[in-house]
Amino acid sequence: MTISEKILAAHSGKEALSPGELINAQVDFILANDITAPIAIDEFKKIGTQSVFNKDRIAFIPDHFAPQKDIKAAEQCKILKEFSKAFDLGLYFEVGRMGIEHALLPEEGLVVPGDLIIGADSHTCTYGALGAFSTGVGSTDFASAMATGECWFKVPESMKFIYYGKLNKWVGGKDLILHTIGDIGVDGALYRAMEFEGEIIRMLPMHARLTMCNMAIEAGGKNGIIVPDEITEGYVKKRAKRKYNFYSSDKDATYVEVREYDCSKIPITVSCPHLPSNTKPAEELSQVTVDQIVIGSCTNGRIEDLREAAQVIKGKKVHDYVRMIVIPATQKIYLQAVKEGLAEIFINAGAVFSTPTCGPCLGGHMGVLAEGERAIATTNRNFAGRMGHPKSEVYLSNPSTAAASAVLGRISIPEEVV
């Protein structure tokens, strides 16, 4: 079996299973945010139960429209707080303690290798970087899981992606996953497990692995996953709040498709409007001017991402007609950025340094685009209207490329600035 199949089998009480099977499985951890949780809470109340399956395995994280941007957002967030109080939930993260959910939960050691995790947010696939089976679900499935601790699954087919060779300068996890999505398309892994491996993956630090698994959903994947190793152990052993299990894929496991990539041929990559699969080498886009830069999100808001951007923009200025918004993904990352002087670098360059929030990624607040405006962002989606006006445009890139573009006011590669 593959690692995904092994985790699903272990959680459904089966010795073996195969793609296409319908199973009920015990979940280890579930999560929802200020957009999806209110719907789930309403459905949960219809069930009529007076208790949840485990009050220490349910996380409510107001991060999308928080800090509350208007009255409607405030009412949404209030629902999470009131429900958490009523059911004595131990993992409600109020503003000031919260972060972007998919950065916060690994950082806090609340999701661990071997887990089966569901979240009422499509980017729940992020935690596959730890060697967990993690996937997004609808709010009604989340409500059912709150009551029962179970969820149903169709066992996905697995695809294997092998990365070898040598990474080019400034190329990282974001470029690898954008290149992959550009290769297979936004439905190229539809309802499949995307298993990333190879010598390059084994060398990738955890923040880059999290970035890759985060965007599995942009290729239609049911989950993204990386077999845990020494790098995984080094990350989780100092954080894990509970025991964890390392699973691996059998050598004779069946994959519906295997793709290999020579990373020496993968350039700094940018996704152009209006699909993540519309990828081009950044060097080919030097005539594209930009109005806004966003560095952050659950994809690239970790401390390593901020360091990369700061390395490029240090001692320089944001272009006169460009706004740059830097959003650390959690409070710990925010504080670390302050301690390391990164916040000062960004502010001295003329950028905004924001409290943690999903904010502009979904066109919520803290950086909404007007008609005709164009952004380059380290976020994960660039559908029409994703960051604001339906006639605005979003390009996706890694942090160094976004920072370089902020200086020159057009899409740029870091070598043009550093």
Q: What is the pLDDT along the chain (418 residues), one digit of tens a residue?
A: 999 999 999 999 999 999 999 999 999 999 999 999 999 999 999 999 999 999 999 999 999 999 999 999 999 999 999 999 999 999 999 999 999 999 999 999 999 999 999 999 999 999 999 999 999 999 999 999 999 999 999 999 999 999 999 999 999 999 999 999 999 999 999 999 999 999 999 999 999 999 999 999 999 999 999 999 999 999 999 999 999 999 999 999 999 999 999 999 999 999 999 999 999 999 999 999 999 999 999 999 999 999 999 999 999 999 999 999 999 999 999 999 999 999 999 999 999 999 999 999 999 999 999 999 999 999 999 999 999 999 999 999 999 999 999 999 999 999 999 9
Residue ranges, comma separated, of all CATH 3.30.499.10 domains in the chain are: 3-261, 269-416
Type of residue numbered 224: G
Q: 210, exposed or middle or buried, with CB in 10 Å at 0-12, 13-18, 19+?
A: buried
| Residue 343: Cβ within 10 Å count | 20
Q: How far apart are the first and last CA of the chain?
A: 47
Tell which residue, 24, 17, 30, has the closest CA to residue 56. Answer: 30
Number of alpha carbons in the 13 Å side-chain half-sphere of residue 48 = 0
Residues in CB range of 50: below 8 A, 6 or more apart: none
State whether CATH 3.40.50.620 applies to domain 3-261. Answer: no
**Phi–psi pair at 186, nearest 5 degrees:** -75, -10
pTM assigned to the model: 0.96
Separation between Cα atoms, residue 240 and residue 127, nearest integer Å: 13
- Return the percent helix, strand and coil in the chain, to nearest 5: 35, 20, 45
The answer to whether 324 and 352 have CB atoms below 8 angstroms apart is yes
Class of domain 269-416: alpha beta
Pairing between strand 157-164 and 150-154?
Answer: unpaired
